[in-house]
Amino acid sequence: MPAGMAGMLLGLATGGGALLMWYGLQRLRDRALPDGKRRQGWWGINLGLLVLTLSMLLFSRS
């Protein structure tokens, strides 16, 4: 895989993780949603944090 392609994929993973965290936080703070739907925002936050952590780890190793 070319070096530019790896950097692009890591950048996309970082951005995707940040977006997942943002959407999860927005869902948690939306008081108009029922409590069960609001709690589903934790999935986005946790998954986004995992993707961000993995992409930063891969950035540091490359």
Kindly give the confidence (pLDDT) of every residue in the chain, 62 residues in length, as a single tens digit, with 9 standing for 90 and above. 566 788 888 899 999 999 999 999 999 999 999 999 999 999 999 999 999 999 999 888 87
- Tell me if 31 sits within 8 A of 18, measured CB to CB: no
Task: Give the contacts of 25 (CB within 8 A, at least 6 positions apart).
Answer: 41, 44, 45
pTM tops 0.85: no
Name the residue ranges covered by the structural domains of the chain.
21-62
Structure confidence at residue 6 (pLDDT) = 83
Per-residue confidence (pLDDT) for residue 24, from 0 to 100 = 95
